[in-house]
């Protein structure tokens, strides 16, 4: 398949890995964060850590919108479905995320609430059209990738004159999260994070382009390489980051040039600008309150804003004391550092958001990384003759 199979060539992967090993200076360590959960899964699925030298470390960032949604926002969605009796529509991963007291939208559905899984926001709009007697709320989450479709569906609802459709908006912004990781005092309380550069997100960048990342390269002197999700994409991005570090550069480079441009998708950005505005602050799970890091529906479209139509109670809630999702999202700890990982916290019984989401670091590590580590430990204890 064009643009897929050729980026999974094992021989080319070994060649790029050999270049990384040859060019990575043995006297120093390289710490690179992949922001996007899709990259985390690619790294584990294709065994990329096994191809890297010991001094090149990958740090798993908060790049999963399900993982970073704070419990009070999820509790509010459950309240909409249970207390207000709306038909709540959202994507599949969101239904299983545990809120306070281990409640979830899936459990609320089992108890009788009208909670529905949809594959797109247009499905929610169709449900509203087909059920004019019901209040239908679309639980919108995601980074810049999923924001344009939500904007389009809000404008479509306006054109149709729908009175029973609203959106519970939880869209968040990638650049603000990167800034928070680099400078927030609240985040630093979780530990010291050595970080030399970023593997920039792919899907997000198809919308916003590579231009927004230049600020980080210039202000923080951290190189960014935007990469696709295939194994050769990730390996090439790591090689490009190693070369930047070795040459003392801090620039934005675009490995994913087959899909990402400098300015991104101008039409998508315009519909977002016409529909949403910045929130002054927004809480991220694991990162705390991040200024100007999320979007809300403009007042001119407030009739489609669920937070304006319904009164919801945002109660502060403490995380499970043993769950390390906050530190894992921050990159300070890895999934294996959590005492709950694997037992009792599994994809079938998720206790934290990093495990429940298909793009979460814990889910990726559970599916792939734990086997690689076990194999590595066995090889170390039984070296070849």
Per-residue confidence band for 143, with pLDDT thresholds at 50, 70 and 90 = very high
Partnered with residue 58 across adjacent β-strands are 32
**pLDDT one-digit tens code per residue, 230-286:** 999 999 999 999 999 999 999 999 999 999 999 999 999 999 999 999 999 999 887
- At 188, the pLDDT band (50, 70, 90 cuts) reads very low
Q: Which two tokens stand for residue 215?
A: 């600020």
pLDDT of residue 374: 45
Distance in angstroms (rounded) separating the CA atoms of residues 255 and 315:
43
pLDDT digits (tens, 9 = 90+) for 158-167: 999 999 999 9
Q: pLDDT tens for residues 28-49?
A: 999 999 988 889 889 988 999 9
Question: Residue 12 contacts by C-beta under 8 Å, 6 or more apart in sequence?
Answer: 232
Query: What residue spans in the chain does CATH classification 3.40.50.11740 cover?
Result: 1-324
Domain 1-324 has CATH 3.40.50.11740: yes
Q: Write down the mean pLDDT value for the chain.
A: 88
What span, in angstroms and rounded, lies between the C-alpha atoms of 15 and 146? 35
By mean pLDDT, which of 101-110, 116-125, 153-162, 376-385 is the weakest? 376-385
Region 361-375 average pLDDT: 70
Give the pLDDT mean for 74-91. 95
Provide the token pair at 46: 């294709």
**DSSP calls for 270-304:** HHHHHHEEE-SEEEETTTEEEET-BEEE-GGGGGG
Cα–Cα distance list, 52 to 239, 240, 357 (Å): 10, 14, 27
Q: Which of 183, 209, 196, 178 is nearest to 36 (CA)?
A: 178
**Rounded distance between C-alpha atoms, residue 102 and residue 116, angstroms:** 19
Q: 56, exposed or middle or buried, with CB in 10 Å at 0-12, 13-18, 19+?
A: buried
- pLDDT band for 369, please (50, 70, 90 cuts): low
Tokens of 1: 């398949």
- Rounded Cα distance between 17 and 127, Å, is 49
pTM above threshold 0.85? yes
């Amino acid at each position: 398949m064009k643009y897929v199979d050729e980026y999974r060539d094992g021989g080319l992967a070994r060649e790029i890995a050999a270049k990384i090993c040859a060019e990575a200076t043995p006297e120093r360590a390289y710490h690179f964060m992949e922001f996007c959960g899709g990259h985390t899964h690619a790294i584990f699925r294709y065994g990329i850590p096994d191809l890297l030298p010991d001094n090149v470390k990958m740090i798993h960032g908060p790049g999963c919108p399900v993982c970073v949604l704070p419990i009070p926002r999820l509790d509010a969605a459950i309240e909409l479905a249970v207390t207000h009796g709306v038909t709540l529509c959202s994507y599949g991963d969101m239904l299983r995320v545990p809120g306070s007291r281990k409640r979830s939208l899936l459990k609320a559905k089992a108890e009788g609430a009208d909670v529905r899984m949809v594959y797109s926001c247009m499905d929610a709009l169709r449900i509203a059209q087909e059920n004019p007697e019901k209040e239908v709320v679309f639980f919108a989450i995601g980074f810049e990738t999923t924001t344009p479709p939500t904007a389009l569906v809000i404008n479509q609802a306006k054109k149709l004159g729908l009175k029973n459709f609203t959106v519970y908006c939880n869209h968040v912004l990638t650049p603000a999260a990167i800034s928070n990781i680099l400078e927030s005092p609240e985040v630093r309380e979780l530990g010291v994070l050595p970080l030399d550069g970023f593997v920039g997100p792919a899907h997000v960048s198809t919308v916003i382009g590579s231009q927004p990342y230049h600020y980080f390269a210039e202000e923080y002197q951290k190189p960014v390489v935007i990469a696709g999700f295939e194994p050769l994409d990730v390996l090439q991005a790591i090689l490009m980051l190693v070369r930047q570090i070795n040459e003392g550069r801090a620039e934005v480079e675009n490995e994913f040039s087959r899909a990402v441009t400098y300015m991104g998708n101008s039409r998508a950005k315009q519909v977002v600008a016409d529909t949403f505005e910045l929130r002054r602050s927004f809480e991220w799970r694991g990162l705390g309150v991040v200024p100007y890091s999320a979007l809300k529906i403009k007042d001119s479209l407030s009739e489609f804003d669920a937070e304006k139509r319904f009164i919801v109670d945002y109660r502060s809630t403490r995380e499970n004391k043993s769950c390390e999702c906050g530190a894992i999202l921050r990159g300070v700890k890895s999934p294996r550092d959590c005492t709950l990982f694997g037992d009792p916290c599994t994809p079938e019984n998720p206790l934290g958001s990093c495990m429940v989401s298909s793009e979460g670091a814990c889910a990726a590590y559970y599916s792939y990384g734990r086997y690689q580590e076990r194999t590595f430990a066995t090889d170390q204890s039984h070296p070849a003759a």
